[in-house]
Amino acid sequence: MPLQVIVGAQWGDEGKGRIVDWFAGRADYSARYNGGDNAGHTVTVGKQIFKLHLIPSGIIHPQIVAVLGNGMVINPRTLFDEVETLKKAGVSAAPERMHISYAAHLITPAHQALDKALEAARGKGNIGTTGRGIGPAYTDKATRHGVRLADMLNPDFCERIGDHVADTNRTLKMLAAAELDPAAVCDEYRGYAERLKPYISDVSIELDAAIKAGRVILVEGAQGTLLDVDFGTYPFVTSSSTTAPGALTGLGLGLEAASDAQVIGVVKAFQTRVGSGPFPTEVSGDLALRLRGSGSNPWDEYGTTTGRPRRVGWLDGVLLRYAVRINGISELAVTKLDILSGLEIVRLCTTYKRDGKTLADLEFGPADLGPYEPVYEELPGWKEDVSGVRRWADLPPAAQAYLERLSGIAGVPIRLVSVGAEREQLVVKE
């Protein structure tokens, strides 16, 4: 398939990075279409751990051209930190192999300050944002006050950035937050403009030509389905289109590109969420500690971007079916199966109960999950450590049964199962 779209089927942090890494070995382009440095994609290659926030994780493969689409919001400070980190690890993110859309929006320190001030003003009802300025940058985009990468190419760029900081200062003042110095931001961003110039292009033209030439474009969604601004647990969502259709508008691809697309949904073998908002299958106590891990391993359940402990729970099949429909998922990659080893029983939420009625699907999407009570199916657990397993047939029968049931609930087959953080700790189901 020329277009392969990898999306998170839950609240993000499904382990998309390592799944992208597997597909990227066979692709020509690795493209991101949404979000900014709120994302955190981890890929482990031997002793090297790559934690990427903005640059598509496929870049680790030498044949890949990385693309950052118009649907993204880009903090140039993070971008160049990442370019440097990759360089030290021997991975080039030079303009020859990384192209950024002229229509992507910039994130500035004013957006970050506003994000934090707005969260503080929300008090207890806060969203639990990453504080990276994502919401304010997309707000500026929608209200037509945004600053795009193309603006960096204009002689009046500094003035534009200065106006944007002065505008934001007015809101910061109303929120009793510290204001920023427009001249200082202007100076910093003038430097970034120089460095960014060779990266900026119309990536839509390049991707269109690549598809026509039969190249494989691996598209990497950030966050997850349930954080989508339209289809997620609104208002506890991020501000972009995280779902697969967002790949078209976020990269400048026409609908025809979708006719040849394959959508791979990445789903953790259980469920996690970072930040506020509903979570029907959430667990607490010892089981939560067990699923989350102590934080001593980089792949324990602590945010890659913020370090916050993630909330954890049983896999929610109702929400997974919803993700399959909204994204058009054709196959699943299940991650972190190894974490469930050793549990006496494993539970899967198959349906919800509301007012005594059993519901297989949500009535109005996942925004208001409060009144729904999860209905679980219990399956026997397995004691065996599965981290060394590389073939489906070698998985313990109970683990196979759990995965088969998960696939049955989702209504789509499983293609990959990850059993550890290392690149090769993967089971491919033929």
Query: Which region, judged by CB under 6 A, interacts with ligand IMP, from 36-44, 175-183, 194-202, 286-294?
Result: 36-44
Q: Which stretch binds ligand IMP (CB under 6 A): 64-72, 130-138, 181-189, 361-369?
A: 130-138
β-bridge pairing 345-354 and 373-380: antiparallel
State CA 54 to chain mean position distance: 10
Separation of CA 89 from chain center: 23
129 binds ligand IMP (CB under 6 A): yes
56 touches ligand IMP (CB under 6 A): no
Q: In this chain, which stretch among 66-74, 234-242, 323-331, 352-360 interacts with ligand IMP, using CB under 6 A? A: 234-242
Active site residue 41: yes
Phi then psi for 313, rounded to 5 degrees? -170, -175
Q: Given the complex with ligand IMP, which of 40 and 245 has the nearer CB atom?
A: 40
CA 356, 348, 274, 294 dihedral sign is positive
Does residue 250 interact with ligand IMP by CB under 6 A?
A: no
Quote the tokens at residue 253: 């691809």
- Distance, in Å, from the CA atom of 295 to the CA atom of 282, rounded to the nearest integer, reads 19
Q: How far apart, in whole angstroms, are the C-alpha atoms of residue 274 and residue 306?
A: 9
Q: Is 169 in the site for ligand IMP (CB under 6 A)?
A: no
Q: Which of 30, 34, 38, 168 binds ligand IMP (CB under 6 A)?
A: 38
Question: With binding defined as CB under 6 A, does residue 134 bind ligand IMP?
Answer: yes
Q: Is 238 in the site for ligand IMP (CB under 6 A)?
A: yes
Q: Which of residues 193-222 bind ligand IMP (CB under 6 A)?
A: 222
Rounded to the nearest whole angstrom, what is the least distance from the CB of residue 73 to ligand IMP in the complex? 10
Beta bridge partners of 217: 3, 29
The residue (of 52 and 218) whose beta carbon lies closer to ligand IMP is 52
Question: Quick one: which H or E segment has residue 373?
Answer: strand 373-380
CB atoms within 10 A of CB 347: 20
Residues 6+ apart with CB under 8 A from 345: 378, 379, 380, 381
Tell me the window of 132-140, 256-264, 385-393, 402-410 that interacts with ligand IMP (CB under 6 A). Answer: 132-140
User: Which CB atom, from 79 or from 134, has the smaller least distance to ligand IMP?
Assistant: 134
The answer to whether 117 and 178 are in contact (CB under 8 A) is no
Between 114 and 186, name the residue whose CB sits nearer to ligand IMP. Answer: 114
111 — alpha (psi -120 to 50), left (phi > 0) or beta?
alpha
Residue 145 CB, shortest distance to ligand IMP, in Å, is: 18
Tell me the closest approach of the beta carbon of residue 306 to ligand IMP, in angstroms.
Answer: 7
Token pair for 174 = 């109303």
- Shortest distance (Å) from residue 164 CB to ligand IMP: 19
Q: How far is the CB of 375 from ligand IMP (least distance, A)?
A: 26
What is the distance between the alpha carbons of residues 367 and 375, in angstroms, rounded to a whole number?
19
Number of residues that bind ligand IMP (CB under 6 A): 21
Catalytic residue among 28, 37, 41, 338: 41
- 93 forms part of the interface with ligand IMP (CB under 6 A): no
> CA–CA distance from 284 to each of 279, 281, 293 (Å)?
12, 10, 13
- Residue 113 buriedness (CB in 10 A; 0-12 / 13-18 / 19+): buried
Q: Which of residues 8-27 bind ligand IMP (CB under 6 A)?
A: 11-13
127 touching ligand IMP, by CB under 6 A: yes
Q: Is the dihedral of CA 325, 267, 14, 314 positive or negative?
A: positive
Q: Least CB distance from residue 1 to ligand IMP, whole Å?
A: 25
- Is residue 206 within 8 A of residue 98, CB to CB? The reply is no
In whole angstroms, the minimum distance from the beta carbon of 280 to ligand IMP comes to 16
| Closest distance of CB 275 from ligand IMP, Å | 2
CB proximity list for 36: less than 8 A, separation 6 or greater: 53, 54, 72, 73, 74, 75, 78, 107, 132, 133, 134, 137
Nearer to ligand IMP, 227 or 395 (CB): 227
* Residue 135 interacts with ligand IMP (CB under 6 A): yes or no: yes
Give the active site residues: 13, 41
Binding site for ligand IMP (CB under 6 A): 11-13, 38-40, 127-130, 132, 134-135, 222-223, 227, 236, 238-239, 274-275
